[in-house]
Structure 1
Amino acid sequence: MFGPLEIETDRDSVAMGDDAVSHARQISVRPGIHLAELVEQASPEIREHGWSWVARVDGEAVAVWSIDHGARLLRPDRRITRRRAPKRVHFDYYVQIDPEWLHQRLSEGAAPNRLALEAEFAPIAQERWEIEQRRREREIHERLFSAECVDLLRGWGAVVNLHNDRLIRFELGGARWSASRADTMVLLGRGGGPNASIRPASFAECWLAAAVGADYRVARGAARMPEFDRLSLPELEPMASWPPGTKRWATIGALTVQLSGEDAVSAFELAHGRSLTEIADLIESGLSPA
């Protein structure tokens, strides 16, 4: 006699470009289903492990939903009747905050404020990330960069405090350097964001040797770069500046690079077409004995 209940659903966008189309839709549910079932049926189509969502029913936060744990209610479960049917379910994206931790904090009475909870969870996430990186270093024999590259960096005074199959992290002359694999690219940099993004990894370690070697030369009182010939370089195309005022360039093909700043380009020019041994010889040319 009576048909199903029609309820509007929507979700936050998760990245640039994800908001190109609307995520709003309408679902049909049978009268009498429970609130937890409604949240499951309305849940986002994105199925990424470790992602957390807070389900709001007519504006009220009622559950934490994730592909890992399903709907974890923040309110007592109840039946959805025609008389008490909600009009709208919206899913707020809570990034990679651990869904179990998020459910616990909201159950304890924390306000559903994503930015505040993200800041609170950040040190926990960092500690977990560090533990995972150490596990990979201990249990996986592969390394991101070759022993030849690491020995070269150490010879210039680098103190390597982590090196696994995805990441190397070291300090040299008070500066913190890192290189990490992201899909097929290797992100490399000193201090904050990456100064270079490079594929393949075999050239990424050559670029790193040239970039670190330039700092080593400065510390030894020499010019940042030695005299060298540029060997058949691929053409670098300018990119939009980021951060504002920082010039960037890129090339694509078998060798793919994105470079930020003039120093990154100089390291690219020195490293291209050369082995680690050849790069080291150039970097150390003209330096007085340590």
Structure 2
Amino acid sequence: MLRPRSLELHVDRDSVAMGDDAVSHAGVLTVRRGTPLSAAIEQSAPEIRSPGWSWVAVVDGETAAVWSVDHGVQLLVADRRLRRGPVDVFFRYFVQIDPAWLFDRLARGERPDRRALEEQYAPIARERYRAELRRRERELDGRLLSTACVEALRRFGADITLHADVACEFAHGDDDWVVRRADTMFQVFRGRGGPIASLRPHAFGEAWLIGMLGAAVRVAEGREALPDAAVSPDLELTRSGGRWMSRGPTVVQVHSELAARVAQLAHGRSVSQMVEVLDA
């Protein structure tokens, strides 16, 4: 009896973000019997392709390769021709761990524990990211924050240490602040951990940032954090799970009551208007 000339690959992958898991990623590919394992992995690679992203291919339960746009298939096992099917191929998402670094670690026998490897890679990632920001600051003319915002930050005592087109870092009091552009979002970090605010549009984010620094200065001077000033009725915030959020074209996601009150004060005001209100 003649054997079929083809065999099936049962392919699936991790989701990369919320919403990506709304539909199944499982599928079936057909390849010629005798196709090399490396070619089968390349043919079934994830459709989400971005430089610097790493995927670990698990074939029939065995960690077989690192795959990336940058380097293609980097086998962790000997290449072989596939003779029997179906073959299960699952791609595990290893985020923005450098694929060459990841392959080196796994080739040395490191377990494919994503959390542990992320922790190992984190200092390298931070160093590379900061070097890239310095390069952008040095070589590109664009800046994330407007001149008016930078002047207002300095007025309220901020010491700006880095300002590129996608990020701004400054010290204020005992805190280190970072502002980043993430797609259309204006994200703000204070100290370690995740963002304390995600805002849109950009001009509103700048006004909110000035409001937060101005509030800190007012408290240090023995005054109420925020003045008794009119707020826009068009920004409605709801509290859910320790966060204050809005709906509509103006996006607010903040993690404290003060941050929510600043958002209400900043809505509809420019940076210069926020400075005037806070100085009152």
**Is the TM value for this pair above 0.5?**
yes
In the alignment, the residues of structure 1 paired with residue 17 and residue 96 of structure 2 have an alpha-carbon distance, to the nearest angstrom, of 13
Q: Distance in 1 between matches of 2:115 and 2:12?
A: 20
Q: Is residue 7–residue 89 contact of structure 1 (8 Å, CA) maintained in 2?
A: yes
Residue-pair matches, total = 277
State the alpha-carbon separation in 1 of the partners of residues 105 and 268 from structure 2: 54
Task: Specify the SS of the correspondent of 2:148.
Answer: helix
> Over residues 28-48 of structure 1, what are the superposed CA-to-partner deviations in whole Å (9 max), with x where a residue is unaligned?
221222121111122222222
Kept in 2, the 8 Å contact 1:13–1:93? The answer is yes
**Alpha-carbon distance between aligned partners in 2 of 1:90 and 1:274, rounded to the nearest angstrom:** 50
- Structure 1 residue identity aligned to 2:71: H
1:95 equivalent in alignment to 2:105: no
Q: What residue in structure 2 maps to residue 288 of structure 1? A: none
> Residues 162 and 221 (structure 1 numbering): CA distance in 2 closer, same or farther, change over 3 Å?
same
Residue 86 (structure 1) shift = 6.4
Give yes or no for the alignment of 1:194 onto 2:195.
Answer: yes
Q: Partners in 1 of 2:168 and 2:257 — Cα distance?
A: 23
Distance in 1 between residues matched to 2:118 and 2:24, nearest whole Å: 26
Residues 158-216 of structure 1: per-residue CA shift (max 9 Å, x gap): 11111111111211110222221111221124334333322222222111111110001
Query: How many angstroms apart in 2 are the aligned matches of 1:269 and 1:25?
Result: 47
1:59 aligned to 2:89? no
Match of 2:34 among 32, 35, 45: 32
Distance 1:7 1:250 in 2: 45
Residue 209 (structure 1) aligned with residue 196 (structure 2): no
Contact 2:153/2:210 (8 A) holds in 1: yes
Which secondary structure does the structure 2 equivalent of 1:63 belong to? strand
CA distance in 1, matches of 2:51, 2:42: 16
Q: Which moved more, 1:194-203 or 1:49-58?
A: 194-203
Give distance in 2, aligned partners of 1:35 and 1:187. Answer: 43
The two structures, once aligned, show a CA RMSD in angstroms of 2.0
Structure 1 residue 228 displacement after superposition: 2.0
Match for residue 226 of structure 2?
A: 225
Moved runs in structure 1, 4+ residues, more than 4 A?
none
**Kindly tell me: are residues 68 and 26 of structure 1, through their superposed partners in 2, closer, same or farther at Cα, counting changes over 3 Å?**
same
Equivalent residues of 1:250, 1:256 under 8 A apart: yes
Q: Which residue of 2 aligns with 1:249?
A: 245
- The normalised TM-score by structure 2 is 0.90
1:282 and 2:240 are equivalent in the alignment: no
Indicate how the Cα distance of structure 1 residues 276 and 6 shifts in structure 2: closer, same or farther if over 3 A, else same. closer
- Which residue in the other structure is 2:74 paired with? 72
CA contact (8 A) 1:209 1:279 kept: yes
| Structure 1 residues 239-285: Cα deviation after superposition (integer angstroms, max 9, x where no partner) | 532xxxx24131423x4433432211221233233333332233233
TM-score for the superposition, normalised by structure 1: 0.87
CA distance in structure 1 between the partners assigned to 2:35 and 2:61 by the alignment: 20
Identity of aligned residues (%): 48
User: Secondary structure in 2 aligned to 1:88?
Assistant: strand
